[in-house]
């Protein structure tokens, strides 16, 4: 049933058969809206075709966002568009350059062109952006207290195992601060570039044609329905695939790099708020949990929740372009959306572990490493 005071809407989710999109579809259906999904069901994510977790109430259209005829058809009678369609994975983007730019950048251009050509003016367009566009987060020197937004660490530094960032004034170790939306982008991967393209294309289109647009910069999302056999999905799913195959999670660097892991349930909540809150129009907004956690701790929490006595292997290896620390400043999300994360890491990873008990996964971490090695992207 539609929530009191909210009109039922026809919603389109591009890429909506995936991990996050399918959870959003469920949330929209619970709120009384009608949901149409377009998804190309790429085998890297959907090796068995259409997923059985997708609600039968969802109108699923199998198609590519780069197909202008298909896009004009699925946009028919749509009130709200969530643009989630994207090829995901920082490492893979560095050697599948044309595919990432085609799907992510050109796909977004085709969506907007279809809207324009068909004279479709949705009430709201919400685009899934990414924390990857920040590069490194914000920092403060532990010695002289200066704030800093350093560039990504050079390979020459990573090669000798110097993981931490240092103050350019006094050489003190930089400690992470919450990263806000005003932090300049430091693009360090093809994936990050394509996500910034998606964000900026949608915002420019909105300003030009009077369409309310909100860009949500998601941090590290985890939860049920992640593609466990895709080695370029989120790190929590990669660790999980190792653990359920009784293999130790492989952790790069020293495992102390900090990230912002946010439950998919909080992501859905933020997206529903963005649809209803006009205060968010024209803004980019961080969506995370706001609490940093070391990567090695993620492996520990998952192993404990799965009942596995398997410790992570700290490889002391690196991947070119990886950042050291970044977590979300949620001030704008709280102010513009009324968003507050509700799922703790302990509860979220416990739910993920319960779902994992019935899953099978092809552990492709070694395949990923071989591919990255082939292109000189890890050592």
Using DSSP, state whether 109 is helix, strand or coil.
helix
Task: Put residue 178 in one of left, alpha, beta given phi > 0 → left and psi -120 to 50 → alpha.
Answer: beta
CB 220 within 8 A of CB 260: yes
Average pLDDT over residues 328-355: 95
Is residue 42 scored above 50 in pLDDT?
A: yes
Is residue 177 scored above 70 in pLDDT?
A: yes
**Partners of residue 222 on adjacent β-strands:** 263
Model confidence pTM above 0.85: yes
Average pLDDT over residues 279-304: 96
The torsion angles phi and psi of 226, rounded to 5 degrees, stand at: -65, 150
Is residue 233 scored above 80 in pLDDT?
A: no
Q: Which residue has the higher pLDDT, 358 or 349?
A: 349
Is residue 234 scored above 80 in pLDDT?
A: no
Domains of the chain: 10-374 (3.40.50.720)
Is residue 367 scored above 70 in pLDDT?
A: no
pLDDT tier for residue 232 given thresholds of 50, 70 and 90: low
Average pLDDT, the chain: 92
DSSP annotation of 258 reads E
- Alpha-carbon torsion (249, 250, 252, 253), positive or negative: positive
- In this prediction, residue 1 carries a pLDDT of 45
């Amino acid at each position: 049933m539609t929530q009191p005071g909210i009109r039922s809407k026809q919603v389109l989710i591009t890429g909506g058969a995936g991990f996050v999109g399918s959870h959003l579809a469920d949330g929209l259906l619970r709120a009384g809206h009608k949901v149409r999904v377009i998804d190309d069901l790429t085998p890297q994510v959907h090796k068995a075709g259409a997923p059985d977790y997708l609600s039968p109430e969802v109108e699923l259209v199998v198609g590519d966002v780069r197909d202008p005829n298909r896009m004009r058809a699925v946009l028919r009678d749509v009130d709200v568009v969530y643009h989630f369609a994207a090829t995901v994975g920082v490492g893979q983007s560095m050697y599948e350059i044309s595919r990432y730019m085609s799907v992510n950048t050109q796909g977004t251009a085709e969506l907007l062109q279809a809207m324009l050509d068909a004279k479709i003016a949705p009430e709201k367009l919400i685009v899934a952006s990414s924390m990857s566009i920040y590069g490194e987060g914000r920092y403060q020197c532990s010695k002289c207290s200066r704030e800093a937004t350093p560039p990504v660490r050079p390979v020459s530094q990573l090669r000798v195992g110097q993981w931490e960032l240092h103050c350019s004034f006094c050489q003190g170790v930089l400690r992470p601060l919450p990263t806000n939306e005003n932090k300049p982008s430091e693009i360090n991967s093809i994936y990050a570039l394509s996500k910034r393209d998606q964000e900026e294309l949608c915002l420019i289109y909105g300003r030009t044609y009077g369409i309310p647009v909100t860009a949500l910069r998601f941090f590290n999302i985890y939860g049920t329905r992640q593609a466990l056999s895709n080695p370029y999905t989120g790190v929590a799913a990669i660790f999980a695939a190792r653990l359920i195959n009784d293999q130790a999670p492989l952790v790069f660097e020293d495992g102390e790099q900090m990230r912002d892991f946010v439950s998919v349930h909080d992501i859905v909540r933020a997206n529903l708020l963005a649809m209803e809150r006009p205060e968010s129009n024209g803004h980019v907004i961080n969506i995370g949990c706001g609490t940093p956690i070391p990567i090695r701790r993620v492996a520990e929490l998952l192993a404990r929740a799965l009942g596995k006595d398997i410790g992570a292997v700290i490889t002391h290896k690196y991947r070119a372009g990886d950042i050291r620390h970044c977590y979300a400043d949620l001030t704008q999300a709280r102010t513009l959306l009324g968003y507050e994360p509700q799922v703790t890491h302990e509860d979220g990873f416990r739910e993920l572990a319960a779902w994992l008990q019935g899953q099978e996964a092809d552990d492709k971490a070694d395949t990923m490493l071989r591919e990255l090695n082939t292109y000189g992207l890890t050592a």
